[in-house]
Amino acid sequence: EIVLTQSPGTLSLSPGERATLSCRASQSVSSSYLAWYQQKPGQAPRLLIYGASNRATGIPDRFSGSGSGTDFTLTISRLEPEDFAVYHCQQYGSSPGTFGQGTKVEIK
C-alpha cells in the first residue's frame, strides 16, 4: 500500500500568514487522486480538496492544492482564526486508500 508522509508535523504560524503543508507518497499517486481534509478537535474531518487541486463545495479560495506524482502541497494563503486545525492528506488512486499522519497548524 502507498504510505503518505506529511510534513511538518506541526506548523506554528500567526493569523494572516501563509501556510504550506506537504504530503509525500511512497509511490506515484494514480491520476493525482489525492484529497485534503481539515479536522478540528472533537469533530469529523471536512473535505477541502480532491483530485489534488479541486476545492470542495463551500471551501474558501484561500485554500489551494497542487502537485502530482509523489509530491503534493496544500496552501492556505492567509490564515484565518478558524483555520487552526489538523490537516490530513489521503490517496485514493490505489487500493486500499491511505491517509497521512496529519499536520497540526497551531497559533504561534
Q: How is residue 77 written as a grid cell? A: 494563503
Q: Which is nearer to other proteins, 17 or 22 (CB)?
A: 22
Q: How is residue 23 written as a grid cell? A: 504530503
Q: How far is the CB of 38 from other proteins (least distance, A)?
A: 11
How many of the other CB atoms lie within 10 Å of CB of 63? Answer: 19
Q: Is position 99 an interface residue for other proteins (rule: CB under 8 A)?
A: yes
Peptide bond into 41 cis (omega under 30): no
Q: Which is nearer to other proteins, 17 or 24 (CB)?
A: 24
Q: Which is nearer to other proteins, 15 or 106 (CB)?
A: 106
Query: What residue ranges in the chain does DSSP mark as E strands?
Result: 4-7, 10-13, 19-25, 34-39, 46-50, 54-55, 63-68, 71-76, 86-91, 98-99, 103-107
Q: Is position 95 an interface residue for other proteins (rule: CB under 8 A)?
A: yes
Q: Which amino acid is at 30?
A: S
Q: Is position 58 an interface residue for other proteins (rule: CB under 8 A)?
A: no
Query: Which residue in the set 38, 50, 84, 87 belongs to the binding site for other proteins (CB under 8 A)?
Result: 50
Residues engaged in binding other proteins (CB under 8 A): 33, 35, 37, 43-47, 50, 56-57, 88, 90, 92-102
